[in-house]
């Protein structure tokens, strides 16, 4: 296939009208250039597609679809033309990034994700009303504008299907991106409006959970997994409003007849969010496009930023041999980075102890460096909750170590929550041993003799030697509680979880003070009961 880029080096007018200025991007089917319309003076995004194969046909179909659409959520088309080598579509030019880029950067808060999905559905409802089905709804086909409030544009109707129009694909061919294709399309049925609704449901599930619902599924098993339907979002995000969870579940019904229309789902998403905002002032989910700016989104960034800065400051202050004045500077840098670049902030916070640990023991620094690198990889998808394990050393001295499972519920994913708990108990134990204090579940540990060790294996062996073997089982018990908490959605389940947690902790730690363990398990059950009653009233 020829490239669209080499045809424009002279910046000569295209179609005697558009003057290319600079490339905006390119892909397998062509490229997009920033151009100036010499007739109107407007800057446009000029899509250029070679006239070879199906790409040109799809470009023509895209232009036809764009010409029918007149909606603020659909990228406006100014014109269409072709020459002997290429097809051209002139779109309005707006600054922004794709929803995929925003999700990868960890900058799409829950309120913004819900509002973006509602706006996508509004654009799709407009298209469906004109007999157009998008058929390729995915994050990379949604443009998020560089504005204070959420504003999106729906892109790329190149795979669109029109009522009573011939398809561009052969029998059995499924156009679009597999991860967002609905079950009925995989079964060979024609795409309809419900297929687009499925795509939005997958997109919103992914934005709220921090990972795709079928992430990790082998490609050869993907069709089977999609046909079975997406797993419940509540397992990943039990903190979300029940009405919102139900709306997403309806959008992902395997039977297309059970899915709501795009307009109905947009209304339901906003109602669910608005109801949550009215019922709980402390946990607002303000998503209206005409509402005030997202104060909650800002707070959601400031709280992790403050926690990151304090954690970095504490880590640097309590470790030996840190150069004077560095601790505060690194802590401030980590806090500021957490606001705009949460992954960079997490990396800085995790890296801060390496230098002082190296002054104590090279082996310990290498051991911790391996842990920090692994932890950064684990928390890459959700960096703002990457330091949740610090709840361990904070709660343990107060006798509240059993509250750690509740403290890590903001972490998304069963495995991630379990590992956060294990890390919290481990860090609390190491901190207690270094201070000569009692371990989280009772008993004491000798101060580890780490000075001068050069091998990370020796450092790990020294740490393990001073910690009792039962500590690992106790950490696993708390990890199991953290994983099970989202399951506790009724009073009977909450009671069962509390009983199982008490039995496991008391059996595994017979010498631990019973009163703090019983009290913290009761507090956990009380918090879950309050959540249950609050959601019941909200719904």
Catalytic residue of the set 136, 163, 173, 539: 136
Residue 74 has φ and ψ, to the nearest 5°, of -110, 130
**d(C-alpha 427, C-alpha 392), whole Å:** 7
Asked if 45 and 92 touch (Cβ cutoff 8 Å), the reply is: yes
**d(C-alpha 105, C-alpha 115), whole Å:** 18
Asked if 450 and 462 touch (Cβ cutoff 8 Å), the reply is: yes
CB neighbour list of residue 7: distance below 8 Å, 6 or more residues apart? 48, 85, 86
239 carries an active-site annotation? no
Q: What angle do CA 227, 259, 143 make, to 5 degrees?
A: 90
Question: Coil, strand or helix: which one is 26?
Answer: strand
Asked if 14 and 20 touch (Cβ cutoff 8 Å), the reply is: yes
Task: Residue 149: name the closest of 121, 111, 117, 123 by CA.
Answer: 111
CB neighbour list of residue 255: distance below 8 Å, 6 or more residues apart? none
Asked if 156 and 123 touch (Cβ cutoff 8 Å), the reply is: no
Question: Coil, strand or helix: which one is 81?
Answer: strand
Asked if 185 and 98 touch (Cβ cutoff 8 Å), the reply is: no
- Helices vs strands, H then E, count in the chain: 20, 10
Q: Which residues are catalytic?
A: 136
């Amino acid at each position: 296939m020829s490239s669209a880029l080499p045809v424009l080096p002279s910046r000569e007018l295209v179609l005697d009208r558009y003057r290319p200025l600079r490339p905006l991007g390119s892909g397998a089917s062509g490229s997009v250039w920033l151009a100036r319309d010499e007739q109107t003076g407007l800057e446009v995004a000029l899509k250029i597609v070679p006239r070879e194969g199906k790409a040109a046909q799809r470009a023509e179909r895209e232009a036809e679809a764009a010409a029918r659409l007149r909606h603020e959520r659909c990228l406006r088309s100014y014109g269409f033309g072709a020459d002997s080598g290429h097809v051209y579509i002139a779109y309005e030019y707006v600054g922004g990034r794709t929803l995929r880029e925003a999700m990868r950067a960890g900058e799409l808060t829950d309120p913004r994700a819900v509002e973006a999905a509602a706006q996508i559905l509004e654009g799709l409802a407009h298209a469906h009303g004109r007999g157009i089905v998008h058929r390729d709804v995915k994050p990379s086909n949604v443009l998020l504008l560089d504005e204070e409030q959420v504003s999106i544009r729906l892109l790329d109707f190149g795979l669109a299907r029109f009522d009573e129009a011939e398809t561009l694909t052969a029998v059995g061919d499924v156009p679009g991106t597999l991860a967002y294709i609905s079950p009925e399309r995989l079964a060979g049925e024609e795409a309809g409006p419900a297929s687009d609704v499925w795509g939005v449901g997958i997109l919103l599930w992914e934005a709220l959970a921090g990972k795709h619902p079928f992430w990790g599924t082998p490609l050869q098993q993907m069709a089977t997994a999609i046909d079975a339907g997406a797993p419940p979002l509540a397992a990943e995000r039990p903190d979300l409003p029940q009405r919102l969870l139900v709306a997403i579940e309806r959008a992902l019904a395997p039977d297309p007849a059970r899915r709501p229309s795009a307009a109905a789902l947009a209304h339901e998403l906003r109602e669910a969010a608005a109801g949550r905002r009215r019922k709980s002032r402390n946990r607002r989910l303000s998503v209206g496009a005409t509402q005030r700016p997202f104060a909650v989104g800002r707070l959601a960034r400031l709280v992790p930023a403050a926690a990151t800065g304090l954690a970095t400051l504490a880590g640097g202050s309590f470790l030996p041999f840190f150069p004077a004045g560095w601790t505060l500077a690194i802590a401030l840098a980590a806090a500021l980075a957490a606001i705009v670049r949460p992954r960079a902030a997490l990396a800085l916070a995790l890296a801060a102890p390496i230098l002082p640990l190296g002054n104590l023991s090279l082996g310990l620094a290498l051991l911790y460096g391996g842990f920090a690198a692994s932890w950064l990889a684990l928390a890459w998808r959700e960096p703002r909750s990457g330091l949740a394990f610090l709840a361990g050393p904070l709660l343990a001295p107060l006798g509240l170590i059993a509250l750690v499972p509740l403290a890590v519920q903001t972490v998304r994913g069963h495995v991630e929550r379990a590992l956060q708990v294990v890390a919290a108990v481990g860090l609390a134990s190491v901190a207690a041993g270094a201070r000569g204090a009692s371990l989280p579940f009772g008993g004491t540990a000798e101060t580890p003799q780490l000075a001068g060790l050069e091998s990370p294996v020796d450092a790990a062996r020294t740490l393990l030697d001073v910690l009792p073997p039962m500590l690992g089982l106790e950490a696993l018990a708390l990890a199991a509680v953290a994983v099970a908490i989202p399951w506790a959605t009724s009073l009977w389940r909450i009671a069962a979880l509390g009983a199982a947690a008490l039995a496991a902790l008391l059996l595994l730690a017979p010498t631990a003070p019973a009163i703090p363990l019983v009290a913290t398990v009761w507090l956990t059950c009380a918090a879950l009961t309050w959540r249950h009653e609050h959601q019941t009233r909200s719904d």
